A and B are shown apart, each in its own frame.
Chain A
């Protein structure tokens, strides 16, 4: 409890935390609106038959995930950049407990951020779709509610993943490079790979699978919830690897 309080004080007393939280909300919503506006000029002629209005409105999560991962990461990398880590590890020598506290604080802030992000992005995009006379999501539909919950959970998992990458790399730049690679580059490029590797990457790459969780039908062979589970398992393993590294390494 004490460690949790300590980590919370550290997180709240630095402006970067709040800047990243607010950016996540704004950027996710704005990118979602851009996705909607891209549909507008051609909708009468070429509206996709399987249009998934919820997924369109949450397109911004692709960018928002990078910001929320940075939010998680900087709880750790900020300490290495300033040298504060030396004091932290001296007063809290139990390193696994320390990482657990940091992860919990990241998850807490990310949950608040993700709820606001998803609500704002969804409301704005569905409002825009409805105003344009396009089909919009129905909140009475359990699939819509599930997609929104999954998107929230996906963002929280990304923040936790950020803590793990931050611990492994000890650097904000290193974490950013990994997050962009894992969350954006590989999902964009790997499905193009020939044969089984491409197929596998198209469904089971953790962030691809996680992003499938907030679509109506899932992507590839995974169900939406199955996709989120793949992402959760990957996040768990990254966190375990981070804890092992933190324990074994000289500070």
Chain B
């Protein structure tokens, strides 16, 4: 493995004719952690990745890998490995030939091809044309393409698409392993649950602008409204007692015995229930999921815009 490098976007801007796809974006992606790249469709994620890979030229600013543009980087393939679209393979070319061509272009020994095919679990499909592989297998071939050069920086655009649950679990473990080996790992996904399970750090973009660049736990904690969920056969009495204590409650319209309580803790609700003499069936600390935080955040931006 080549020493890993930091990805850096510096005042990165990309305009296509009339639309601004990426607008003054500055952030860093560091080695050793899995960074999730989050944003709704059309937020500028793919454009940003294309700029990092030197496929498109920024209108202003710079996208660098270890301080260099990719085109200036010697042995680029050993520095960065990327998958932008797993289906972007000639359908008649076999998995082995595809990887062989990629390996040779980067000066990597052909020995690496069977090795990387084994790594992604495609050893049995080595001589099948890419067009005949299932969506999940194509995804694995795409990930293999990114890993051929044993790069220090791995960029994966929607790596979980088309994978079955077992495959998703595999990809998650793979990304975590790559990061724990000290590599820089940047991936995007619209599957928030998976993002939440996989990423340590988040870079969030919306309308081409940076919304957040912080650890995932901090991102969720800062934007979540903590609340307590309580269930009781005597819901009305519990609600009345909580009201007297000056706590906001909301009756769950679906579950007949449930209350959502904001602005307090489970300890406090438990104590009030005990002093009131109300039996509790459930008392839970609730936090918003990443998905809820993200949707609330982008919806708020939409209103503002």
Which residues does A use to contact B, with CB under 8 Å? Answer: 2-3, 5-7, 9-10, 13-16, 78-79, 82-94, 250-251
Do residues A91 and B89 form an inter-chain contact, with CB atoms below 8 A?
no
A199 to B43, CA, bound (A): 57
Measured between C-beta atoms, what is the minimum distance from A82 to chain B in Å?
5
Given contacts A2-B106, A2-B107, A14-B93, contact A84 B88 (CB under 8 A): yes
Q: Which residue of the partner chain B has the closest CB to A4?
A: B104
By CB atoms of chain A within 10 A, which of B84, B87, B101, B102 has the most?
Answer: B101
Do residues A89 and B97 form an inter-chain contact, with CB atoms below 8 A?
no
Across the interface, which residues of A come within 8 angstroms of B91, CB to CB? 82
Do residues B101 and A14 form an inter-chain contact, with CB atoms below 8 A?
no
Do residues B55 and A86 form an inter-chain contact, with CB atoms below 8 A?
yes
Given contacts A14-B93, A82-B89, A83-B85, contact A90 B101 (CB under 8 A): no
Measured between C-beta atoms, what is the minimum distance from A13 to chain B in Å?
4
Q: Which residue of the partner chain B has the closest CB to A5?
A: B104
B71-98 with Cβ < 8 A to chain A? 71, 73, 76-77, 80, 82, 84-85, 87-94, 97-98
A-B contact count (CB 8 A): 92
Measured between C-beta atoms, what is the minimum distance from A92 to chain B in Å?
5
Do residues A93 and B76 form an inter-chain contact, with CB atoms below 8 A?
yes
Across the interface, which residues of B come within 8 angstroms of A14, CB to CB? 90, 92-93
A78 to B100, CA, bound (A): 17
The 3 closest A-B pairs by CB, nearest first: A83-B88, A6-B105, A13-B97
Q: Does B190 contact A (CB under 8 A)?
A: no
Q: A87-B82, A91-B77 are in contact. List 16 more A-B contacts (CB 8 A).
A: A2-B106, A5-B104, A7-B101, A10-B93, A10-B101, A15-B92, A78-B90, A83-B87, A84-B89, A87-B145, A88-B105, A90-B53, A90-B76, A91-B106, A94-B71, A250-B57
Can you report 6 A-B residue pairs in the complex whose CB atoms are below 8 A from each other? A2-B107, A10-B101, A83-B87, A86-B53, A87-B89, A250-B56
Please classify the interface of chain A as helix (H, G, I), strand (E, B), loop, or mixed, using the class held by over half of its residues.
helix
Which residues does B use to contact A, with CB under 8 Å? Answer: 50, 53-57, 70-71, 73, 76-77, 80, 82, 84-85, 87-94, 97-98, 100-107, 145, 149
Do residues B94 and A92 form an inter-chain contact, with CB atoms below 8 A?
no
Q: Which residue of the partner chain B has the closest CB to A13?
A: B97
A87 to B98, CA, bound (A): 10
A91 to B77, CA, bound (A): 5
Do residues A93 and B93 form an inter-chain contact, with CB atoms below 8 A?
no
Do residues A90 and B88 form an inter-chain contact, with CB atoms below 8 A?
no
Across the interface, which residues of A come within 8 angstroms of B87, CB to CB? 83
Given contacts A86-B55, A89-B55, contact A3 B105 (CB under 8 A): yes
A85 to B101, CA, bound (A): 12
Do residues B97 and A90 form an inter-chain contact, with CB atoms below 8 A?
no
Q: Which residue of the partner chain A has the closest CB to B57?
A: A250
Given contacts A93-B54, A250-B55, contact A13 B93 (CB under 8 A): yes
Q: Which residue of the partner chain B has the closest CB to A83?
A: B88
Across the interface, which residues of A come within 8 angstroms of B92, CB to CB? 13-16
For A6, give its contact among B76, B84, B102 (CB under 8 Å): B102
By CB atoms of chain A within 10 A, which of B55, B80, B89, B94 has the most?
Answer: B55
A82 to B84, CA, bound (A): 13
Across the interface, which residues of A come within 8 angstroms of B145, CB to CB? 87
Do residues B56 and A86 form an inter-chain contact, with CB atoms below 8 A?
no
Do residues A82 and B90 form an inter-chain contact, with CB atoms below 8 A?
yes
By CB atoms of chain B within 10 A, which of A9, A14, A90 has the most?
Answer: A90
A92 to B74, CA, bound (A): 10
Across the interface, which residues of B come within 8 angstroms of A13, CB to CB? 90, 92-94, 97-98, 101
Given contacts A90-B53, A250-B56, contact A6 B85 (CB under 8 A): no
A85 to B97, CA, bound (A): 16
By CB atoms of chain B within 10 A, which of A2, A83, A93, A94 has the most?
Answer: A93
